[in-house]
């Protein structure tokens, strides 16, 4: 018998939708509220390393991701001129029947998740938020902005980096911190020869290319940015092109195609780690709301998905909710911290290198390789 009868998930993003599916597969009734009126997401891509595919396979969704996405074996490293330097292949022993990486568009991933949530019977309220939440010890009474009031055995806050649920529970002592870097993204037609992920190392930035579909790839450009400045939206194409000056080969050809500012997705990089435990009473925080990382290990969505799948699996057990949430924390906190700290260290080394500081201890490639390997261990 499951530890709980019903749950409310706040947030219909990657973590929330996955939690909805995972809990339904454990026999739990699930309501989900999403503030947006529809499931639209911006159209760049997500890299799914092999541990993400393992977690998605546990709820039966990895094969569909690979079907709609594009597998790739690792990263092909180039200098700024586009000259090949080396291959950095990734392992796949967490889920051997799946590739070491899968590139997928965000809209495709989202569609897989919300279709699965509907198919499993998650009751979804779009354009809705929590109006009031009262933890009454034996249950949580929740009033929604659409006028409905219900009682839940568990509330899961999966409402992203700027989580209202986190603020409700833990106040504003932990807030996202700007890391000094930003990422610029743009989709392109994919040339046949881009079969791996590609990294092009510039003197003051790095550029990556990720296969997404047979005809599509996306570029990510990582730069140091002074302060967490907001960038005028109509300038995004010009500014991205400026930051790509100095790159040769394929990147310089692609640079000339960046003309429409609405096609550029710009994000300052922020990270956050909520101290353990991420739960209070019958409310728990998961995903970016609890632990947001920079994309250096491509593990943000992976961590949200692992949280959700593990929570669904644990809640199948016949044990007290408190005991299960304590076990959840013992299996999630150090892993999320490892991802955030490793990503932050790589970011710091990159910024030092780009500003001309020589650090003899800096080994970003080695840390990236070792951390990616470590994340294939059981979670
Ligand atoms: C540009 C970019 C590229 C990235 N690339 C990768 C990658 O390649 N690989 C990877 O693993 N990760 C990547 N990430 C990180 C990844 O997107 C996040 O870690 C992941 O989306 C976290 O999932 P989440 O469900 O916790 O939060 P989100 O996906 O942000 O979902 C939160 C949801 O909650 C909703 N919401 C917010 N407030 C409320 C409220 N009050 N009530 C109801 N609903 C609410 C939001 O509308 C949203 O739908 C990237 C992130 C960015 C920004």
Tell me if residue 261 falls in helix, strand or coil: helix
> In which residue are the tokens 């809640």 written?
315
pLDDT at 82: 96
- Complete edge-to-edge strand list for the sheet that includes strand 84-89: 84-89, 74-79, 197-201, 205-213, 216-224, 177-189, 265-273, 291-292
- Cα of 333 from ligand 1 centre, angstroms: 19
289-307: average pLDDT:
97
Q: Residue ranges of the alpha helices (H) in the chain?
A: 14-25, 50-58, 62-68, 106-119, 164-170, 236-243, 249-255, 300-314, 321-354, 364-374
Task: Indicate whether residue 69 lines ligand 1 (CB < 6 A).
Answer: no
Residue 75 CA to ligand 1 centre (angstroms): 24
**C-alpha 113 to ligand 1 mean position (Å):** 13
Average pLDDT value for the chain: 96
Q: How much is the pLDDT for 317? A: 94
Instruction: Compute the average pLDDT of residues 18-27.
Output: 98
Whether 267 is in the pocket of ligand 1, judged by its Cβ within 6 Å, is: yes
Burial of residue 22 (CB within 10 Å: 0-12, 13-18, 19+) is buried
Nearest residue (by CA) to ligand 1, atom 17, is 301
Report the pLDDT value the prediction gives residue 42, as an integer from 0 to 100. Answer: 76
Q: How far is the CA of 188 from the centre of ligand 1 (A)?
A: 23
Q: What is the CA radius of gyration of the chain?
A: 21
Is 143 exposed, middle or buried (CB count within 10 Å of its CB: 0-12, 13-18, 19+)?
Answer: middle
Please give the pLDDT value at position 226.
Answer: 84
Please check the confidence at residue 96 and state whether its pLDDT lies above 80. yes
* Residue 305 tokens, joined: 């998905």
C-beta of residue 243 within 8 angstroms of C-beta of residue 226: no
Distance CA 309, CA 319 (A): 18
Q: Does the pLDDT of residue 338 top 80, yes or no?
A: yes
Contact 198, 209 (CB under 8 A): yes
Q: Is the pLDDT of residue 43 over 90?
A: no
Q: Is 341 helix (H, G, I), strand (E, B) or coil?
A: helix
Our answer on whether the CB atom of 228 is closer than 6 Å to any ligand 1 atom is no
Residues 269 and 161: beta-carbon distance below 8 Å:
no
pLDDT score, position 359: 94
- Kindly tell me if the per-residue pLDDT of 17 is higher than 90: yes
Residue 3: per-residue pLDDT: 83
> pLDDT band at residue 293, thresholds of 50, 70 and 90?
very high
**Contact (Cβ atoms closer than 8 angstroms) between residue 220 and residue 103:** no
Query: Is 47's C-beta closer than 6 angstroms to any atom of ligand 1?
Result: yes
Q: Which of 14, 62, 368 to mutate to test the pocket of ligand 1 (most atoms within 8 A of CB)?
A: 14
Q: How confident is the model at residue 40 (pLDDT cuts 50, 70, 90)?
A: confident
Is residue 298 in contact with ligand 1, taking CB distance under 6 Å?
Answer: yes
Q: What is the pLDDT of residue 134?
A: 97
> pLDDT tens for residues 223-281?
999 877 788 999 999 999 999 999 999 999 999 999 999 999 999 999 999 999 999 99
Q: What is the pLDDT of residues 129-173, one digit of tens each?
A: 999 999 999 999 999 999 999 999 999 999 999 999 999 999 998
Instruction: Please tell me the residue having the least CA distance from ligand 1 atom 48.
Output: 13
- Mean pLDDT in residue range 180-208: 97
Strand partners, 130: 144
In the prediction, which pLDDT does 76 show? 97
Q: CB of 285 closer than 6 A to ligand 1?
A: no
* CA separation, residue 358 to residues 41, 204, 353 (Å): 40, 14, 6
Q: How far apart are CA 278 and CA 152, in angstroms?
A: 18
CA-293 nearest atom, ligand 1: 19
CA distance 20 to 32: 7
Give the pLDDT confidence score for residue 47 in this predicted structure: 97
| Closest ligand 1 atom, residue 12 Cα | 49
Cα 82 to chain centroid distance, Å, stands at 28
State whether the beta carbon of 34 lies less than 6 angstroms from ligand 1. yes
Residue 2 has pLDDT above 90, yes or no: no
pLDDT, residue 227, reads 79
Name all domains of the chain by residue range, CATH numbers in brackets.
Answer: 6-69+106-176+272-374 (3.50.50.60), 177-269 (3.30.9.30)
Is the CB of residue 271 below 6 angstroms from any atom belonging to ligand 1?
no
Per-residue pLDDT at 207 exceeds 80 = yes
Pair of tokens at residue 45:
């891509």
Angle, alpha carbons 357-359-362 (nearest 5°): 125
First CA to last CA distance, the chain:
24
User: Which residue has its alpha carbon closest to ligand 1 atom 29?
Assistant: 13
Sign of CA dihedral 14, 15, 16, 17: positive
Q: Is 155 in the pocket of ligand 1 (CB under 6 A)?
A: no
- 256 CB-contact burial (10 Å; exposed 0-12 / middle 13-18 / buried 19+): exposed
Torsion, Cα of 31, 37, 42, 48 (10° steps): 10
């Amino acid at each position: 018998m499951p530890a709980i009868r019903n749950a409310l998930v706040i947030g219909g993003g990657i973590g929330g939708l996955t939690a909805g599916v995972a809990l339904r597969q454990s026999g739990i009734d699930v309501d989900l509220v999403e503030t947006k009126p529809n499931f639209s997401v911006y159209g760049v891509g997500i890299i799914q390393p092999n541990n993400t595919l393992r977690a998605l396979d546990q709820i039966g969704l990895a094969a569909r991701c690979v079907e709609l996405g594009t597998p790739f074996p690792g990263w092909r490293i180039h200098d700024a001129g586009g000259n090949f330097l080396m291959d950095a292949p990734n392992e796949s022993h967490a889920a051997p029947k799946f590739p070491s990486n899968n590139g997928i568009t965000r809209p495709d991933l989202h569609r897989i998740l919300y279709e699965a949530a509907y198919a499993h019977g998650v009751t979804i309220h779009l354009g809705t938020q929590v109006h009031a939440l009262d933890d009454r010890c034996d249950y949580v009474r929740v009033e929604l902005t659409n006028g409905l009031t219900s009682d839940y055995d568990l509330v899961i806050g999966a409402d992203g980096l700027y989580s209202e649920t986190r603020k409700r529970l833990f106040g504003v002592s932990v807030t996202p911190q700007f890391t000094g870097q930003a990422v610029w993204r743009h989709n392109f037609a994919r040339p046949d020869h881009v079969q791996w992920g590609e990294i092009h190392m510039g003197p003051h930035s790095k550029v990556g290319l990720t296969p997404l579909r047979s005809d599509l790839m996306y570029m990510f450009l990582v730069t140091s940015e002074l302060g967490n400045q907001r960038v005028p939206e109509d300038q995004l194409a010009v500014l991205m092109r400026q930051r790509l000056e100095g790159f040769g080969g394929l990147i310089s050809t692609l640079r000339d195609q960046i003309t429409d500012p609405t096609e550029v997705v710009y994000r300052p990089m922020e990270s956050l780690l909520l101290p353990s435990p991420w739960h209070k009473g019958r409310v728990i925080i998961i995903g970016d709301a609890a632990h947001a990382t920079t994309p250096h290990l491509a593990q943000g969505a992976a961590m949200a998905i692992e949280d959700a799948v593990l929570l669904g699996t644990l809640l199948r057990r016949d044990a007290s909710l408190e005991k299960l949430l304590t076990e959840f924390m013992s299996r999630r906190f150090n892993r999320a911290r490892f991802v955030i700290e490793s990503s932050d260290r790589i970011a710091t080394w990159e910024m030092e290198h780009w500003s001309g500081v020589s650090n003899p201890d800096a080994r970003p490639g080695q840390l990236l390789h070792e951390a990616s390997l470590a994340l294939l261990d059981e979670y």
